[in-house]
Amino acid sequence: MRAFLDIPADSPFSLQNLPFGVFSTADNPTARVGVAVGDWVLDLAVLQRAGLFDGPWLRERLVFAQPALNAFMVLGRPAWREARQRLQDLLRADNPALRDDEALRARALWRREAVTMHLPATIGDYTDFYASREHATTVGALLRGPDSALQPNWLHLPVAYHSRASSVVVSGTDIRRPWGQIHPEGAPGPIMEPTRQLDFELEMAYFVGPGNPLGAPIPIEQAAEHIFGLVLMNDWSARDIQRWEYRPLGPFLGKSFATSISPWVVTLEALEPFRVPGPHQEPEPLPYLRRREHRAYDVHLEVHLQSDRMERPQIIARSNHRYLYWDICQQLAHHTSNGCNLRPGDLLGSGTISGPTPEAGGSLLEVTRLGERPIRLEGGDARRFLADGDRVTMTGWCQGDGYRVGFGEVTARILPARAG
């Protein structure tokens, strides 16, 4: 496919991608739905009002003149597919409907640098999984010792915890260093102070589409029909707060202060050419979790760190979505196996995505081995954990034949803790 717009081969937002997001502009602060294509954002509310969505699912449903994607998500895969196919058709180089309508293009096309991005959905609930075997093994060994790195249940079910939807923020939002209760080594008791061990976690997350009624589990063979698309995610972590509080119940204040996501949601249709087998699972999961098809994706992931003294960011980690032991359909099927109801716009995170090589650690906890092996930054600085002023940027993309399906980036800068 070739678009009438000039799209570089290395653009994350090719015609094969067309991710959905929510944006506003300086002259129109009303948030509405758009898609990213090359260096442009296409205003879907304008196209819908112009009558260019004439299929059965979108002809009379004004889902794009909304400040969130939830109304579109609830319609399910037939509507998602209809919108994607129509947009690809409208953007093709040989289709004059949008190409030759200068007045419509002037209202509908915005340069990406001229728009403000918002959270793509109203997130009612947010669950974070713990689905990377390499991450779970490394962290377990560091915190509990190598003989008990993986808990007995880990190879039998996708472990997860319920986190805070209220503190999920869009890329570009600065993160304030949190206060918390920590117990320094050798201290007689805990103290209350800003975290000394602020960390990132390289993750991907997906948005739920139609969801399920309370008491009605989603079978694994139907799980993909309830997944709208994926984003990049940085689940910020305060390791010293987390370590002191996590027993016996799990993550709480060491995690809930902030989670950052990228603004563009890449659909499963766009990712379809990049499906690959996930890691072999032994022992075989129970029947309700057995894979019916491959649902890992070949998404190249990178973490960049730039201190306030550095002229450019430095890559400190590389990983891939395909390393996840538990795939997204297994996660969703397990989440609903007890009858838990998921709703449109719910966010489900993968947990830290680490891989089998030293450079594939998805957090500083792993890369520095709990601070014992600091990384060296260009210019001479070292990092055990994140410092004030540091900017962390994560990127991800699938590489096709002459095109990319990318996620853009999720980025944030660390601000100092508030005065005590």
CA distance linking residue 154 with residue 32, whole number of Å = 41
CA distance linking residue 161 with residue 277, whole number of Å = 26
Question: Which one-letter amino acid corresponds to residue 206?
Answer: Y
Q: Are 353 and 366 in contact (CB under 8 A)?
A: no
With the CA atoms of 105, 109, 111 and 116 taken in that order, what torsion angle do they form, in degrees rounded to the nearest 10? 150
- Tokens for 156? 């039998």
How does DSSP assign 8-22, residue by residue? -TT-SB-TTT--EEE
CA distance linking residue 407 with residue 316, whole number of Å = 19
User: What is the chain's length?
Assistant: 420
CA distance linking residue 144 with residue 118, whole number of Å = 40
How does DSSP assign 140-192, residue by residue? HHHHH-GGGSS-TTTTTS--EEEE-STTEEETT--EEPPEEEE--TT-SS-EE
Closest alpha carbon to 345 in 148, 187, 125: 125
What is each CA distance from 257 to 60, 166, 180, 225, 360, in whole angstroms? 40, 9, 10, 31, 25
CA distance linking residue 53 with residue 403, whole number of Å = 26
Task: Give backbone dihedrals phi and psi of 217, rounded to 5 degrees, phi first.
Answer: -60, 155
Task: Give backbone dihedrals phi and psi of 173, rounded to 5 degrees, phi first.
Answer: -80, 125
Asked about 118 being catalytic, the answer comes back as no
Peptide bond just before 313 cis, omega within 30 deg: no
> Which of 135, 321, 334, 335 is the catalytic position?
135
Catalytic residues: 135
